[in-house]
Every structure is written in C-alpha cells, then in structure tokens.
Amino acid sequence: MKWFAAAFAAFLLTAAATASPALSDPYTIDTGHTHVGFKVSHLGFSDTYGTFNNVAGTFDLDPDNPEKSSVEVDIKTASLDTNHEKRDEHLRGPDFFNVEKFPDMTFKSTKVERTGEKTAKVTGDLTMLGVTKPVTLDTTLLAAGAYPMDKSVTAAGFNATTTIKRSDFGMTTYVPMIGDEVEITISTELRKQ
C-alpha cells in the first residue's frame, strides 16, 4: 500500500537530472514532507484510506545517464495508520501485514523510462510479506533545486501513483469483499545529503 514509496523516487532522480545539473549527489527522503497512502474498497460501500508513517530511502542520481539512477526504500509495516486503532491492530496482524514476521516492505528500482519532460515510469522490485514482485509507478517531478526557505539546501519533490493486487503478495484475507486492488499515492520531498 505504501510500500511503493520506493519506486517513484527513481524517476525523480531521472527528471531532476535533466532539470538541474546540481542534482548529482545522493538524496534521502524528507520524512516530514512525505506521504505514502493507499485506498482499498470496503465491501463496495466505502473506500478505506491509510498511510505508512515510517518511510526511509536513498536515491542515487547519475546526471549523465539518468536511466542508470537508482532508488531503495524501506517502509516499516507497523507504521500503518488508517485513523482507527482497532482496524490498524487487525491490519498489523497475521491476516494482513503480519508485522511481527515481516516488519519491512522494501522497494529497489530496476528501470527508469522517461515518458515526458517531467514524467516517467519507474519499475522496481517490491517485497512485501516475503514475496517480491515487479511494480511500476507513474511519476511526476514537481520541483528540483534550491530550497526556498534555506538556499543552502538542495531539494526535489515528486508525486507517484500505482495500483497493485494485494493477493499477488499473498494477502488474500477477505478478498473480494475487501478489495484486492489497492491504489497507492505518494508525494515526497528529497534532500541532498
């Protein structure tokens, strides 16, 4: 669900490379300005929204060959938050994320394909519940350059979206009553190390 927070970053690096030659060093996620969210159908009557609040990652940019840029992201599954503690406890349990056995979801990029001046498809390996599957994110670069409130900081930001099937990762509890397809949305800022 937010687990993909990872993939998106690779594109950011790609687009940032062409947007500004100053963006040539490793970047890290600015956790205070990052949102990894998901939406899943609840019995067809409503959509349940949630976030993962503990996301970390590194992004390496090759400005001469943006396609060779890379991203690695780690999401702590116990940081899941749907604003309903009883439901969150169930989601953290063995029926869903099984956070005791699988405390991390990870993403490692494998391919960056530019689709426009500020857009790209970022593909990578998402590992959740011990299962690794390819995931592609549609990403959009929002901005890259000196941070307006502190010109000594170089930053970049982007949005990304994708849809996954949770059953592909072995999360089958209550499918199809609780939706199999999960929409992922990511908005993040990166800071140059």
pLDDT of residue 22: 43
Residue 9 amino acid letter: A
- Res. 18 pLDDT band, cuts 50 70 90: very low
Is 182 buried (19+), middle (13-18) or exposed (0-12) by CB count in 10 A? buried
- Residue 154 CB neighbours (<10 A): 21
Structural contact between residues 109 and 7, judged by C-beta atoms closer than 8 angstroms: yes
pTM, two decimals, is 0.82
Residue 31's SS3 state is: helix
Q: What are 91-114's pLDDT values in tens digits?
A: 999 999 999 999 999 999 999 888
Share of the chain above pLDDT 90, in %: 63
Domain count, the chain: 1
Structural contact between residues 190 and 8, judged by C-beta atoms closer than 8 angstroms: no
What's the CA gap between 114 and 181, in Å, rounded?
A: 26
Mean pLDDT, rounded, of the chain: 86
Structural contact between residues 108 and 125, judged by C-beta atoms closer than 8 angstroms: yes
Residue 11's SS3 state is: helix
Q: What are 152-174's pLDDT values in tens digits?
A: 998 888 899 999 999 999 999 99
What's the CA gap between 95 and 54, in Å, rounded?
A: 21
Nearest Cα residue to 74 out of 20, 28, 113, 22: 28
- Domain coverage including residue 101: 5-192
The CATH number of whichever domain residue 20 belongs to comes to: 2.40.128.110
Cis peptide before 176 (omega within 30 of 0): yes
pLDDT of residue 52: 97
Structural contact between residues 9 and 190, judged by C-beta atoms closer than 8 angstroms: yes
